[in-house]
Structure 1
Amino acid sequence: MSTTTFPKVAAADVTPNRRRGGDLRVMLSPLTVGATSGFMGCGHLQPGEYVSEHYHPYSEEFLYVVRGTVTVRLDGMPVQVGPDEAIMVPINVRHRIENHTGEPAMVVFHLSPMAPRPDLGHVDCEELPGPGALPEVGGPA
């Protein structure tokens, strides 16, 4: 019988980050579980909330909607994504995630591959709406 343990992270155990908007929680990353190929987390958007526009110079982003409906703006073009639907955001495509409905939305996101340094992972395109520091995922320094 193996004595290997496999890391597990509960969303409730991750401090929410609101700097880019909404309630974002990086769950599996180099910092949390020693991931080397990407990172994953979840986001909660209340009605009227959004994640500010940004792009990733090195990573694709995969976004899956668990509940609710969000509008994902890809280079300004709106795409509605509902429950049990997913969308891929290609490298270098500006994107913004918005909740224009009257219901809360929950999304799961995964980015891969990792940028060579954490500070190169995201490029913000608009003023950040929330307080505090940016989320940390770790990785090569």
Structure 2
Amino acid sequence: MSGLTKVSMEDVSPSRRLGGGIRPLLSPTSVGATAGFLGTMSLDRGDFVAAHYHPFSEEFIFVAEGSVLLRIDEDELLLGTHEAAMVPKTRSHRIENASASPALLVFQMAPLAPTPEQGHVEVEPVPYPDAPPPSLRTR
């Protein structure tokens, strides 16, 4: 056995608490990651991920399909298919689907926060407060 682990999007139930569908794929619990984690984010027409920031991590966002409006503090970036941006740590950001088509994003966070609970601070009310937060588990 090689010790390598493969994770499929279908292996991970999406969290909808913050908006959209967030799936942490490669994480400390799923693959033993120690430096960061990687996931996907699906946004249907009109979907958004509520404004939040990461006190310890930078977030790297790549748009695989569709287009999104990335709001970082007072700045806005329109990201289309195959475009990417970085959100510096401590900067509030909100991600909105900017088109009539679904959007699929890949995101990576690094470095890890000391605990998962310290890694994310909400700035605006979340659209689905009763839904569980994104889990770093995949099984």
TM-score (norm 1): 0.93
Q: Kindly state the Cα deviation for residue 76 of structure 1 after the two structures are TM-superposed.
A: 2.7
| Matched residue, 1:76 | 74
Distance 2:25 2:31 in 1: 9
SS in structure 1 at match of 2:104: strand
| Matched residue, 1:133 | 132
Q: Kindly state the Cα deviation for residue 136 of structure 1 after the two structures are TM-superposed.
A: 2.2
CA deviations over 1:71-96 (Å, ceiling 9, x no partner): 00000321100111100000101000
Superposition map of 1:1-141 within 5 A: 3-130=1-128, 131-137=130-136
| Aligned AA (2:48) | Y
Q: Note if contact 1:19-1:132 (Cα within 8 Å) is conserved in structure 2.
A: yes
CA deviations over 1:70-122 (Å, ceiling 9, x no partner): 00000032110011110000010100000131110000000000001111100
Unaligned runs of 5+ in 1: none
Q: Which runs of 4+ in 1 moved over 6 A?
A: none
Distance 1:129 1:90 in 2: 24
TM-score (norm 2): 0.94
Question: Number of matched residues?
Answer: 136
Q: Kindly state the Cα deviation for residue 5 of structure 1 after the two structures are TM-superposed.
A: 2.9
RMSD of equivalent CA atoms:
1.1
SS in structure 1 at match of 2:86: strand
| Aligned AA (1:134) | P
Identity score, percent: 45
Distance 2:50 2:125 in 1: 8
SS in structure 1 at match of 2:40: strand
Q: Kindly state the Cα deviation for residue 4 of structure 1 after the two structures are TM-superposed.
A: 1.5
Distance 2:55 2:79 in 1: 23
Bigger radius of gyration among the two:
1
